[in-house]
């Protein structure tokens, strides 16, 4: 360990702590601190600049510069040397500040007579708080030890800021976690919600940044790192890990065993920090690097180090994920990420979910969608900014979250929610009416489901049945393969809840984005086009058969509808169907009752199936268009890729032409056809599907009202004419013409 002037540094930190411990106002404390630092570092000037808003720094206290400049001198992020420190998150050290590029002359401060300048960022785990500066008249470079010492002091200031040490009633430091912040993320699930933050993993609060006895602290950190290593090794020995999990844990192990990491933390402790503050100091440094590293792999590793630091802090402070805090009213879950099982456990208690990571196709998003909870993903830094209980607005439609919003924003938002509620009430009044168009056509509206939690919606939404029951959700939210009896009970409950309404059970659609936590993942170059859904079912029929048996037992003589996902050619359907018939036969021979009405259908999700032989359309009991997949393969645009997934309109006339061909093929053989992708739940899209000839649509329960309302106002012949005219003109999409037409519709 390099020799540092440890005792000086420790002395300074101890004096700082005394200042912070004394009963005084925020500004007084800041003034005393600048005095102490200048005195200890033998510089004429010490100044503290803090953020007024995310873009503006303000001189909040100084020893040596003109006192009149305090709270007057401000600069933008990146402006002058102070702004440079803040922007780059790195120290600036120069012997000749006025000659330095970017130096800004601020006459009100009188700083032009000071030649040397050393500035370090004040930051706490990725949160930029301000800049700490020392200056002196003699032209000299500050030594590495001096830079380090100032960084340690900045760390303590950051911790104390977090604890509110500078936020008395005066105009001192910016009150943290009190300002409104808006997060621009992306839509995970539409809908609006107002509530209070519930952190899935609350931040660790460090109350003791300065420690008296480095030896005790070093013992503590070594002990905690030891525990951390054991826990990572334990995790690594689990059998059920997939390749990605293993890779992350290997990286954890590498860091946990890294001598450099522990050594740096021990050095921090030697200079007077507590073990916790030392962990945070290194974590802040890693976060600062994270912001500047362009390499994705390195960024991931720094992210791992960040996670590991959090674990270490939890060990040191004993603050687990459960702090004993009571869940606030109308909780909005805020997390970096969350697994589907955990999210399901919170269930409908939650008003909304805001995630820092997440993706549209993630399991958590699938569950949030099933629960109809507004979800915003990619809300960067939300877990750093939000505190338990903070007021928050979730705008799932726009992919925006407002944390601690201004009252005007909250009011506007409430108006929006009220309008949505009113619309829902209007839709509720349609619940028992049929989706009968002005031209006299009735469209059957079914709902998509996948969890028990969905089933109350069957009653509430007025759905004609369940057009798609995604059975994989039951598999995804468990940590081991469910057993046949368990599934049979569950499916029976689904059928009970549906009463005599039809439920189309889709057999397991795993692979692609849906990887079961307990199944060995396959490393595939392109999983969406890989070994998934019925392909897995046919190649390894054990699970498929078990699932069919469970369905037959659950039906216990009642009508049963089964459909296969992702069928690409006729023989796949024939084989899958043969499995069902074989199981029926077997059940019967075992003396079990079998359904007297059994429908076996296929999902049309790949363009190839639209061109299958007539024999397919004759054999299948029905076809259900899985528009989400079909669209991605028709346009060759990945449904998971934010950059392209909205690029092609479902109302593109080529795609509509393709749908018409499918409708014609089914009509020729009298095969019932439905559409169960997300687009069926979008009113204009649903209207066009109906106008093209679809008579059965399946969608999220919340979409049934809006779709029905529009269908009941529309004349399908007119809609068809608008689509045909758009095609004749050579438009890409029928949407603009339809929007024009719909704006002329009377209520």
Q: Active-site residue numbers?
A: 363, 676
Q: Choose between 266 and 513: whose C-beta lies nearer to ligand PEP.
A: 513
CA distances from 228 to 203, 215, 216, 233 (A): 18, 20, 18, 9
Binding residues for ligand PEP, rule: CB under 6 A, are: 468, 470, 509, 605, 626-629, 676-677
Instruction: Pick what 378 binds: Mg ion, ligand PEP, none; C-beta below 5 to 8 Å, kind-dependent.
Output: none
Q: Choose between 681 and 706: whose C-beta lies nearer to ligand PEP.
A: 681
Q: Are strands 45-53 and 127-136 parallel, antiparallel or unpaired?
A: antiparallel
Nearest alpha carbon to residue 634 among 654, 615, 663, 614: 654
CB atoms within 10 A of CB 22: 10
Q: Choose between 85 and 563: whose C-beta lies nearer to ligand PEP.
A: 563
The CA distance from 397 to 272, in Å, is 49
Q: Choose between 26 and 626: whose C-beta lies nearer to ligand PEP.
A: 626
Least Å distance, CB 565 to Mg ion, is 6
Least Å distance, CB 609 to ligand PEP, is 12
Dihedral sign for Cα 22, 26, 27, 30, please. positive
CB atoms within 10 A of CB 432: 7
Least Å distance, CB 627 to Mg ion, is 8
DSSP-based helix, strand, coil % in the chain, nearest 5: 50, 20, 35
Q: Choose between 587 and 605: whose C-beta lies nearer to Mg ion.
A: 605
Q: Phi, psi at residue 2, to the nearest 5°?
A: -70, 150
Q: Choose between 354 and 562: whose C-beta lies nearer to ligand PEP.
A: 562
The answer to whether 392 and 332 have CB atoms below 8 angstroms apart is: yes
Q: Choose between 132 and 704: whose C-beta lies nearer to ligand PEP.
A: 704
Phi-psi region of 29 (alpha: psi -120 to 50; beta: other; left: phi over 0): alpha
| SS3 sequence of 547-610 | HHHHHHHHHCCCCEEEEEEEECCHHHHHHHHHHHHHHHHHHHHCCCCCCCCEEEEEEECCHHHH
Contacts 24+ apart (CB under 8 A), 720-725: 720/691, 720/692, 723/653, 723/656, 723/688, 723/691, 723/692
Least Å distance, CB 626 to Mg ion, is 4
Least Å distance, CB 717 to ligand PEP, is 28
**Of 190, 629, 649, 679, the one binding Mg ion by CB under 5 A:** 629
Placement of tokens 């995604």 in the chain:
470
Least Å distance, CB 629 to Mg ion, is 4
Residue 483: exposure state from Cβ atoms within 10 A (0-12, 13-18, ≥19) = exposed
The answer to whether 453 and 347 have CB atoms below 8 angstroms apart is: yes
Stretch that binds Mg ion, among 200-208, 308-316, 576-584, 603-611 (CB under 5 A): 603-611
**Of 185, 626, 705, 706, the one binding Mg ion by CB under 5 A:** 626
Q: Choose between 103 and 531: whose C-beta lies nearer to Mg ion.
A: 531
Least Å distance, CB 653 to ligand PEP, is 20
Provide Rg for the chain, Cα atoms.
Answer: 31
Buried b / exposed e along 316-328 (16+ C-beta atoms within 10 A): bbebeeeeeeeee
Determine which helix (DSSP H) or strand (DSSP E) holds 197, and give its type and residue range.
Answer: strand 192-199
HSE-up of residue 523 (Cα within 13 Å, Cβ side): 3
Instruction: Pick what 468 binds: Mg ion, ligand PEP, none; C-beta below 5 to 8 Å, kind-dependent.
Output: ligand PEP
**Chain-centre distance for alpha carbon 719:** 38
* Positions in the binding site for Mg ion (CB under 5 A): 605, 626, 629
């Amino acid at each position: 360990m390099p020799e540092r002037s440890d005792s000086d540094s420790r002395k300074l930190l101890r004096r700082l702590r005394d200042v912070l411990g004394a009963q005084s106002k925020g500004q007084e404390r800041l003034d005393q601190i600048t005095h102490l630092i200048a005195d200890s570092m033998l510089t004429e000037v010490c100044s503290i600049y803090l953020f007024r808003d995310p873009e503006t720094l303000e001189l909040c206290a100084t020893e040596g510069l003109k006192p009149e400049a305090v709270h007057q001198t401000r600069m933008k992020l990146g402006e002058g040397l102070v702004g440079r420190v803040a922007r780059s998150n790195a120290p600036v050290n120069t012997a000749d500040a006025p000659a330095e590029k970017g130096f800004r002359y601020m006459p009100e401060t009188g700083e032009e007579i000071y030649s040397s300048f050393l500035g370090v960022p004040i930051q706490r785990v990725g949160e930029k708080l301000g800049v700490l500066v020392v200056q002196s008249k003699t032209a000299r470079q500050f030594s590495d030890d001096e830079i380090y010492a100032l960084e340690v002091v900045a760390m303590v200031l950051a911790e104390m800021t977090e604890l509110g040490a500078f936020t008395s009633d005066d105009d001192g430091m910016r009150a943290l976690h009190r300002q409104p912040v808006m997060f621009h993320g992306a839509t995970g699930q539409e809908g609006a919600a107002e509530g209070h933050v519930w952190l899935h993993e609350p931040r660790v609060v460090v109350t003791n940044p300065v420690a008296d006895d480095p030896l005790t602290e070093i013992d503590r950190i070594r002990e905690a790192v030891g525990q951390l290593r054991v826990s990572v090794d334990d995790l690594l020995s689990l059998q059920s890990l997939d390749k990605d999990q293993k890779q992350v844990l290997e990286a954890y192990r590498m860091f946990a065993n890294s001598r450099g990491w522990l050594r740096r933390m021990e050095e921090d402790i030697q200079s007077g920090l507590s073990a916790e503050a030392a962990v945070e100091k290194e974590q802040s440094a890693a976060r600062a690097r994270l912001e500047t590293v362009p390499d994705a792999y390195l960024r991931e590793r720094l992210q791992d180090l960040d996670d590991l630091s959090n674990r270490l802090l939890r060990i040191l402070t004993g603050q687990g994920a459960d702090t004993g805090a009571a869940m606030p009213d109308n909780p909005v879950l805020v997390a970096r990420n969350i697994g589907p099982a955990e999210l399901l456990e919170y269930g409908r208690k939650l008003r909304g979910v805001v995630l820092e990571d997440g993706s549209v196709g993630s399991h958590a998003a699938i569950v949030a969608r099933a629960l109809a909870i507004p979800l915003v993903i990619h809300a960067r830094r939300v877990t750093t900014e939000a505190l338990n209980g903070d007021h928050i607005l979730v705008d799932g439609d726009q992919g925006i979250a407002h944390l601690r919003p201004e009252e005007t924003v909250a009011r506007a938002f409430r108006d929006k929610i009220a309008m949505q509620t009113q619309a829902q009430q209007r839709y509720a009044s349609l619940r028992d009416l049929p989706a009968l168009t002005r031209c006299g056509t009735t469209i059957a509206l079914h709902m998509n489901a996948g969890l028990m939690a969905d089933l109350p919606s069957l009653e509430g939404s007025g759905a004609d049945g369940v057009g798609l029951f995604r059975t994989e959700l039951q598999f995804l939210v468990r940590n081991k393969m469910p057993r046949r009896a368990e599934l049979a009970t569950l499916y029976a409950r689904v059928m009970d809840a549906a009463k005599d309404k039809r439920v189309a059970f889709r057999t397991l659609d795993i692979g692609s984005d849906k990887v079961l936590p307990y199944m060995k993942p396959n490393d595939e170059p392109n999983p969406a086009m890989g070994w998934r859904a019925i392909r897995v079912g046919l190649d390894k029929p054990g699970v498929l058969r078990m699932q069919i048996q469970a369905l037959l037992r659950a039906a216990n003589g009642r009508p049963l509808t089964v459909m296969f996902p992702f069928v690409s050619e006729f023989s796949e359907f024939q084989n899958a169907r043969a499995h069902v018939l074989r199981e029926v036969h077997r059940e019967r021979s075992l003396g079990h009752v079998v359904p007297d009405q059994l429908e076996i259908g296929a999902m049309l999700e790949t363009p190839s199936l639209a061109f299958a032989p007539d024999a397919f359309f004759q054999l299948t009991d029905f076809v259900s268009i899985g528009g989400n997949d079909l669209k991605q393969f028709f346009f060759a645009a990945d449904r998971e890729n934010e950059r392209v997934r909205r690029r092609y309109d479902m109302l593109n006339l080529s795609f509509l032409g393709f749908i018409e061909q499918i409708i014609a093929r089914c009509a020729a053989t009298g095969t019932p056809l439905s559409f169960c992708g997300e687009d069926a739940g979008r009113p204009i899209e649903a209207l066009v599907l109906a106008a093209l000839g679809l008579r059965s649509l399946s969608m999220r329960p919340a979409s049934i009202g809006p779709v029905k309302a529009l269908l009941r106002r529309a004349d399908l012949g007119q809609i068809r004419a608008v689509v045909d005219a758009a095609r004749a003109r050579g438009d890409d999409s029928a949407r603009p013409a339809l929007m024009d037409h719909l704006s002329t519709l009377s209520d």
